[in-house]
Structure 1
Amino acid sequence: MTYVETVGQAAQWEIAVAPVAFPAGNAQQALSNLCWHVDSGLIDYPLQSEPRPLDFTYEEIEDTSVYALSNRRFRYEGSARCELRIFGDYGPVRYMGGASYTGGATDQDISGQAFPYMLYPPDTPIADLPVWTEGDDAHVRAFFRAVQDPGSAGGAVGGFNNCRLASTSARVINVNEFVNLRAAPGLRAPIVGQVRLADRVQVPDTGRLLPLRDSERGQECLNFCRALTEYPSSEDVRRRAEGCIAENMLWYQVVAPDGNTGFVSRHFLAE
């Protein structure tokens, strides 16, 4: 007989544990835990200690949902990445979304269900997990507010007084190795090239800052940027504009050093 005593054991053997409240604290580490836990269940390997934190970029962030993509790699020769789509309004005893692992050749399952308990470190005793009480959703709202914090979005945006770049030459930042050039504004648009960290790209039209395609939030972010230009001393407007950039809501068309043209999120560009 084996007693299932820890979060890591339950995740590895794909055992649902509920009802569990969302954690407080480091949201980026919690999302990292989730990526590793789902993967450990799909491939059946143990996590001995707290998994290393991952860097994420965010396609969508709402009050109770997030779509995040890891910049670090999983599985065969590090050829896969973790994609999370989770929701906080599914109720205390249901799964909250899922994790998928894309890229790389594999004949194994590439996606699995995600539960709130998987946000906790693997050595956390199941008996110590906080219980989600029906109707008490303050922990959910607090968690997704922490995700929306620019400091949790894969690197700080950095100081700026305008959403738009002032120079037609920009440096790649906030990535581990490279940023993908996209065929259109959005992290789900086809990849047409890559630019390495710290390399410089040309921005032909710095005034043409484009919102995430088909996104009402992207249009709202353009309004925040216009307001920042008009009221540069407003800390509230600055915070909202920085949050938009961290969420990858604003994009530039750029020319890479090899002459390739594509779109890059403003989050990955600096003067």
Structure 2
Amino acid sequence: MRYVIALIMLLAAPVQAATLALGGDATMGCTLSLNGEIARGDAQEVGFFLEDYGLLGGGQRLCLNSAGGSFADAVQIAQRLVAQGIGTAVAEGAVCNGACALAFIGGTSAGAPDRRLHPGGRLGFHAPQITDAERAYTRAEVDTAYGVALIALSEVITLQSQSDFDFPASLLAELVATPPQSVRRVDTVADAALWRVTVTPVLAPDLPAKTLTEHACHNAALALWDVPGSAVQSLPEAFVNAQSVTSEGLELTTVYAFADNRARCRLTLTQGAPQIGSAGYPEIGARTAPLTAAMLHDPDRLLADLTAGQTPLAQIVARYTDGAVPPVALAQTTVQTCAPEAPQMRVTNVTEFVNMRVAPSFGARILRQAPKGEVLDLITAEPRFVGPSARRAACQSACSQPDQTAERAACITDNVLWHHVRAGGQTGWISRKYLGAP
């Protein structure tokens, strides 16, 4: 089946069709791509695509590049992404506006939001559009178009109210208030934090530890409680640098203000990408917000001004310890992952060969047969976790706990971990169960 998506908006002129394809921007970790405007019926086409290529069950990420389209289908696409645990991304140079941005919000992995925005990408929201052509319309046409727009808006509101869908109320308010001819862009670090969009890859700022902490705690409060920035204020005089280096990385606590009340903000810095740790307010609630390098920047900083890249965690921790924890020592105490140490892996645990597939799933199409003993290049070190959300979450946790050796081995045996590899001039996916040290 050829997946071509044609825009068929009410009262709209024909436009160039969009396409769904396997593969995507490697920097954003995409395994799927959608380019072009979203049309009526495309939600069903997305479902067919995922089913035909055996991509159900999570472990995927969809790169989006679209000027907009059908809001009704965007809502359904977002619901499919949540149900299947598929993340979303907007890569460098890509644009995702209107209906596309609505689909983007559905990005989910292991039951948590997984929506990534490159600092060089553009993401914008606006209310449903009634027409897109300037001409005289009959009263019947306007009434019909207005009715369609109201239905689309009601579907967006219904989507926001679903318990398994992470749709911040402040984002819904901005979407409704922004006319279709305008775009409310995710422009600042605060915007991204408030609407739980992961901006990556981003270099951490070269700032004093106190300033980094204030930025992180401010942005974490936005992410946790969906409050405007004016409700979060720093208390410089109450800064407490109570820190300790543990097997989890670096822990520190500082006093901060949230909604006019003083509370402790606790940061934990751990190895990982794009997350570098977590931030939360234990006196207010048990939840924590994932901490990224972008959240160490000033909340008012424009995303377009951020520098793409990745700062080693050791460099960030050194700012809190006056350089007392060198990179080597930190590497010995930070959380372990299931990422291989070498940039290559060898085919093993098979009689003759293992199938390299287009996606991390045994139902995905076979690209080639990798013979036993063949050395493959890793495209990314971190594995992709697939399967039911609870199982993925358990395996991700096992990979972050040094003492859970048996649990990690079970996850590998159960084919939860897959690696993106290159061999024979092709790139594809192979279960970690059939890969060993080179």
TM-score between both structures, scaled by the size of structure 1:
0.45
* Structure exhibiting the larger radius of gyration computed from Cα positions: 2
Greater relative contact order (Cα 8 A, min sep 6): structure 1 or 2?
1
